[in-house]
Amino acid sequence: MPDATTPAIVIDRLGPPEVLVERETPLAPLASGSLHLRVRAAGVNFADLAQRMGLYGTTPPRPYAPGFEVAGEVVRAGADAGRAGWKAGDRAVALLRHGGYARDVVIDAGQAFRYPASLTSVEAAAVPVVFLTAWVALFEAARARAGETVLILGAGGGVGTAAVQLAVKGGLRAIGTAGSDHKREFVVRELGAAACFDSGGDWETAVRRLAGERGVDVALDPVGGRATQACRRLLAPLGRLVFYGLSDAMPGVRRSWPRAALAVLRTRWIHPRALIEPNLGVFGVHLLHLGAKESVLRAAAVEIFRRIAAGEIRPVVDRTFPLTREGAVAAHRYLHERKNLGKVVLEAPD
């Protein structure tokens, strides 16, 4: 099917959510190791907003469809993918580099994972990006161990709700920050965090009072700016700061270069000599740039879905929007307003 197309919501210029447009886009030919998936749900991530605003480092040439994760059914399987056990009708969730806001995608079978029958397609699409980011940050980068204390900024968001659950089930003491009473109560009562403080208040003092002068062993920081400085001050000797975002650079729906520059300046560069005496480690996590280490994602995904099937952890879905141009615009605006508790997902119409 070399001339096949699929409806998709694409970015063809930068700007507020309304720049998203719906159009027919080419569907890649089915290679031997590929799968053609009919998309039932696509996860929406903060990185999608950054791409639309031109604040994301790794993007294909415009126009392109954003979307790093989808869930759906296999329509066709290439020969090698078929020999690997995939067949038409199989349910699959996939991690993509882009293109998820579409009704159909063709992917390498290595990007696809089977998910438990107990999950809906919406729930499955809410898993890959946030749980894998949280897993890599906690257990691959920070090498967090049971008994340690982890600080999770944005604990009410997609990665945050995943990280709190993984930390608690891993025997870690989780402390979060979040921007509303509702989110803070959920993180403690439903997810098991030891505490969750107001991200708009003096959470640094509150965390230090709870953790003691020793501080925290791991800090997960998707915010940047002054929050990063606070995380560094809170780290115990041999503490690890894991940085995986700069949401401080995106306060609204439109790009502001002065605000982005200010966020970078507030974050400050970290000289290696500044890490020696306090015995600190700093890591960055970006799932698309793992390179030769991408194999850790498959093992992690298998374990994550095993835990979900066992009822140990769960995807937290805040709400869904239609997989249409109007739905994508509304979903992006919802995330910009920081209203979400957990994940936002686009759901394809029947």
**Band of the pLDDT at 268, cuts 50, 70, 90?**
low
CA distance 261 to 43: 29
> What digits encode the pLDDT tens for the residues 186-208?
999 999 999 999 999 999 999 99
pLDDT at 269 over 80: no
Q: How many Cα atoms are found within 13 Å in the side-chain-facing hemisphere of 228?
A: 24
Instruction: Please name the residue that has the structure tokens 């070399």.
Output: 2
Give whole-number Cα distances, 325 to 46, 85, 294, 321, 349, in Å. Answer: 17, 35, 32, 10, 12
Between 276 and 182, the higher pLDDT residue: 182
The DSSP result for 207-233, as a single string, is HHHHH-TT-EEEEEESS-THHHHHHHH
Tell me which architecture the domain covering 129-289 has in CATH: 3-Layer(aba) Sandwich (3.40)
Give the type of residue at 273: R
What is the domain partition of the chain in residue ranges? 5-127+315-347, 129-289
CATH of segment(s) 5-127+315-347: 3.90.180.10
Average pLDDT for 12-23: 96
pLDDT at 266 over 90: no
